[in-house]
Amino acid sequence: MSVRVRFAPSPTGYLHIGGARTALYNYLYAKALGGTFILRIEDTDIERSNAEYEKLQIDDLKWLGITHDEGPDKPNPKYAPYRQSERSAIYQKYADQLIEKDLAYYDFCTEEELEVMKARAEAEGRDPVYEGKWKDPANKVEALERVKAGEKPAIRFRAPKKSYTLKDKVKGDVTYPANMVGDFVIVRSNGLPVYNYCCVIDDMLMEISHVIRGEDHLNNTVRQLMIYEALNAKLPEFAHVSLLIGSDRQKLSKRHGATSVNLYRNENYLPEAMCNYLTLLGWSHPSETDIFSKSDLFSIFSLERFSGHAAMYDLEKLKWVNGQHLKKMENEDIIKMLSGMPEATGFNQQDPAWKNTAVTLLKQYADFVSDIPKKAEEMIFGEHIEMKNELMEILGWETTPKIIDYLHGEMNKITTPFVTEAELTSWMDFAKKDLAIKGKPLFQGIRAALTGQEHGPDLKLLIPLTPVSIIKKRLSLLSKTKQEKDG
Ligand code: GLU
């Protein structure tokens, strides 16, 4: 059986984190099984659907690298069109067949009549189910005449009064009791078909083999099972993936922070990191690793590793995952990204060799590409020295002023804007041999003198990146502080 999966967004807003996760699971499943990943646009809710949202959602999917094999822009003539708004004739054709077989019926009840039915059921403590006259096949002749005369009724599906059991790949057996749902509308009186109906017709005609979607659709599934049965269509496999929740264990919503993909995109999150983190929300890697790229999963993704429990969306973990991906990125790609960022103007003005070394060093301290110029300001270009106790202690050692004086003298000889690693090594050697300073006083003294910090990265990387003018200012400031302290 060939694997055909689909992501079927409604273009009524931006691409949501949960939607992106569903798209990703379908995409990965298609990749893992050599199947086809289809993008279908579910735009039957004409009031809320908007072509602009369709475009933005596709754009975000593209940014995430979740590319479809078939869709409105890549039609396979056997299955096209891929927008539900362009498939009305198809839905009508199947609705006519269902009516013909008395599996559905025309319903001329007005809103008011339906309200009365509902109120009566409520008063009697029953679930509100349809019990209008049109349910009775005896009224079919009258119904057909009224349709012929130009009236526009709704089309209602006759829900069988029996229980259904869904064999879900994630949830296991899900049993829906008989009479859980009453007869339901599949085509509204304005001619627009409803989601549960279109979804089945499309999944059937598009030969979808696996429906992987959010657990919030489990309640819809019983209606869909009924329609499959009425159409005598083969059921796809279903996998309903667990809900996304916030730290308060409530369904993930805007209250918990940014829930649309475009906001993360604007904040410089890496698409590979987003995909990595989204995959982990409800699925686990067979070797329990947390960091991977999409393509690492192509050979191992399976429906067996889904968790049945709700997945907690944790922004801190996402940031950490982003940092891990940043550290694995090529410097060249990071530099390219920074070149388009206004906040990196200072960074971008440096020469290519400087940028390369700076990225090697600074990405170790960053979670986001945009952290790199900030870290450069802080760790390389910072002139201010915070006179913390630990630093004052180092300044108080008798060896430190000797190091400061010596380095000051050396710096004054330098005519280039930066020192080299070789110069730094020669100063270390001099302090060790000629000034006879060793161990902690040597290493901490030199670090404090050149950086104004007690801790930090490897000096061999950091110092050749720091402008001589800044190192000189730090040395002067430290001498002054020491003199003031000594009074
Ligand atoms: N249009 C539905 C949604 O956006 C798709 C549900 C499904 O995958 O069947 O939630």
* Cα(216) to centroid(ligand 1), Å: 10
Is the minimum distance from the CB of 10 to ligand 1 under 6 angstroms? yes
* Cα(8) to centroid(ligand 1), Å: 5
Does the pLDDT at position 487 exceed 80?
no
The residue whose C-alpha atom lies closest to atom 10 belonging to ligand 1 is 9
Q: 337 with 347: CB under 8 angstroms? A: no
What percent of the chain has pLDDT above 70? Answer: 100
Give the torsion through C-alpha atoms of 228, 229, 231, 236, to 10 deg.
30
| CA distances (Å), origin 14, targets 28, 36, 196, 259, 359 | 22, 24, 22, 9, 33
**Closest listed residue to residue 184, CA positions, set 223, 219, 221, 147:** 223
Is the minimum distance from the CB of 9 to ligand 1 under 6 angstroms? yes
Mean pLDDT along residues 338-360: 95
Closest approach atom of ligand 1 to CA 213: 8
* Cα(10) to centroid(ligand 1), Å: 7
Does the pLDDT at position 129 exceed 80?
yes
Return mean pLDDT, the chain.
96
Query: Is 200 within the bounds of a domain?
Result: no
Does the pLDDT at position 312 exceed 80?
yes
pLDDT in tens, 179-236: 899 999 999 999 999 999 999 999 999 999 999 999 999 999 999 999 999 999 999 9
Does the pLDDT at position 1 exceed 80?
no
Is the minimum distance from the CB of 239 to ligand 1 under 6 angstroms? no
pTM summary value:
0.92
Whether residues 318 and 393 share a domain: the answer is: no
Could you say which of 288, 307, 328 is where a domain stops? 328
Known catalytic residue at 254:
yes
Contacts for 260 with CB less than 8 Å, ≥ 6 apart: 13, 14, 15, 16, 17
Q: Return the pLDDT at 293.
A: 96
In angstroms, the CA 221 to CA 203 distance is 13
Report residue 283 as tokens. Answer: 């699925």
Whether residues 324 and 397 share a domain: the answer is: no
* Cα(212) to centroid(ligand 1), Å: 10
Whether residues 324 and 393 share a domain: the answer is: no
In angstroms, the CA 399 to CA 481 distance is 16
Report residue 260 as tokens. Answer: 């649309």
Mean pLDDT along residues 344-360: 95
pLDDT in tens, 371-386: 999 999 999 999 889 9
Q: Return the pLDDT at 5.
A: 98
Q: State which H helix or E strand residue 328 sits in.
A: helix 315-328
| CA distances (Å), origin 189, targets 251, 276, 449 | 33, 45, 81
Q: What 8-state DSSP symbol labels residue 26?
A: H
Q: Count of CB atoms within 10 A of residue 297's CB?
A: 22
Query: Is 126 within the bounds of a domain?
Result: no
Query: Is 400 within the bounds of a domain?
Result: yes
* Cα(115) to centroid(ligand 1), Å: 28
| CA distances (Å), origin 369, targets 267, 276, 339 | 10, 17, 11
CATH code of 476's domain: 1.10.10.350
Is the minimum distance from the CB of 217 to ligand 1 under 6 angstroms? yes
Query: Is 185 within the bounds of a domain?
Result: no
Query: Is 407 within the bounds of a domain?
Result: yes
Is the minimum distance from the CB of 8 to ligand 1 under 6 angstroms? yes
Query: Is 187 within the bounds of a domain?
Result: no
pLDDT in tens, 401-414: 999 999 999 999 99
Mean pLDDT along residues 447-470: 96
Band of pLDDT at residue 393, cut at 50, 70 and 90: very high
Contacts for 84 with CB less than 8 Å, ≥ 6 apart: 40, 41, 42, 43, 44, 193, 198, 202
Whether residues 394 and 478 share a domain: the answer is: yes
Whether residues 394 and 316 share a domain: the answer is: no
Q: Return the pLDDT at 126.
A: 86
Query: Is 411 within the bounds of a domain?
Result: yes
Q: Is the dihedral of CA 160, 161, 165, 168 positive or negative?
A: positive
Q: 373 with 346: CB under 8 angstroms? A: yes
* Cα(82) to centroid(ligand 1), Å: 14
Could you say which of 282, 311, 328 is where a domain stops? 328
Contacts for 194 with CB less than 8 Å, ≥ 6 apart: 44, 184, 185, 186, 187, 188
Helices (H) then strands (E): counts for the chain = 20, 11
Q: Count of CB atoms within 10 A of residue 317's CB?
A: 14
| CA distances (Å), origin 467, targets 349, 371, 377, 443, 448 | 13, 20, 12, 20, 16
Q: Return the pLDDT at 474.
A: 96
Q: Return the pLDDT at 486.
A: 84
Band of pLDDT at residue 143, cut at 50, 70 and 90: very high
Number of domains in the chain: 2
Is the minimum distance from the CB of 83 to ligand 1 under 6 angstroms? no
* Cα(293) to centroid(ligand 1), Å: 26
Q: Count of CB atoms within 10 A of residue 130's CB?
A: 20
Q: Return the pLDDT at 179.
A: 86
Q: 153 with 143: CB under 8 angstroms? A: yes
Most ligand 1 atoms within 8 A of CB, residue of 49, 213, 227 to mutate? 213
Query: Is 444 within the bounds of a domain?
Result: yes
Is the minimum distance from the CB of 44 to ligand 1 under 6 angstroms? no
Given the residues 78, 254, 413, 433, select the one marked as catalytic.
Answer: 254
Q: Return the pLDDT at 356.
A: 97
In angstroms, the CA 371 to CA 386 distance is 21
Report the SS3 class of residue 186. strand
Most ligand 1 atoms within 8 A of CB, residue of 15, 42, 196, 206 to mutate? 42
Band of pLDDT at residue 462, cut at 50, 70 and 90: very high
> Can you give the residue range of the structural domain that contains 1?
1-68+242-328
Give the torsion through C-alpha atoms of 341, 343, 346, 351, to 10 deg.
-20
Contacts for 170 with CB less than 8 Å, ≥ 6 apart: 215, 239, 240, 241, 242, 303, 306, 308
Q: Return the pLDDT at 127.
A: 83
Residue 123 exposure: Cα atoms within 13 Å on the Cβ side: 6
Closest approach atom of ligand 1 to CA 199: 9
Could you say which of 310, 328, 346 is where a domain stops? 328
Most ligand 1 atoms within 8 A of CB, residue of 87, 166, 217, 251 to mutate? 217
Closest approach atom of ligand 1 to CA 42: 1
* Cα(9) to centroid(ligand 1), Å: 6
Q: State which H helix or E strand residue 39 sits in.
A: strand 36-39
pLDDT in tens, 8-19: 999 999 999 999
Is the minimum distance from the CB of 261 to ligand 1 under 6 angstroms? no
Closest approach atom of ligand 1 to CA 7: 8
What percent of the chain has pLDDT above 90? Answer: 94
Residue matched to tokens 């991977």: 292
Whether residues 404 and 474 share a domain: the answer is: yes
The residue whose C-alpha atom lies closest to atom 6 belonging to ligand 1 is 8
Report the SS3 class of residue 189. coil
pLDDT in tens, 407-444: 999 999 999 999 999 999 999 999 999 999 999 999 99
CATH code of 270's domain: 3.40.50.620
Band of pLDDT at residue 46, cut at 50, 70 and 90: confident
Is the minimum distance from the CB of 5 to ligand 1 under 6 angstroms? no
